[in-house]
Amino acid sequence: MRALKGICLGLLFSFLYGLIPGFFILGALGLASSSFLPGVSRMMESTFGPMALILISIIVGIVIFPVAGAIWFSKDKKWTKIRLALITLLIHTVIGYGLLVIVTV
């Protein structure tokens, strides 16, 4: 029951994180790498291009955050909460940036 609660909380957090913070982090990484990834600058100039960042962030979050939520609420306490949160956000950022590079190349 605790793992199910963590999965549901992870799904909710994936949508909330994907809409605002995930968008800005991927946008900053995309703009920083737009000099050697010309597809990113074209994507940012198009009408619905920046919505791809939100979509990438939400899709990656739907996969990552429920797993982290299940670990968060599990009875196994070998993971500290801060370490788990930071590793989850790092994994989300790396996979999201990888998908951004794959989509825009």
Whether the predicted pLDDT of 64 surpasses 80: yes
Instruction: Read off the pLDDT of each residue in 1-5 and give the average, rounded to a whole number.
Output: 82
pTM assigned to the model: 0.85
- pLDDT range class, residue 97, cuts 50, 70, 90: very high
* Tens digits of residue pLDDT in 12-55: 888 888 888 888 999 899 889 888 888 888 888 888 888 888 88
Whether the predicted pLDDT of 11 surpasses 90: no
Q: Nearest-CA neighbor of 23 among 46, 49, 41?
A: 49
CA dist., res. 41 & res. 69, Å (int): 35
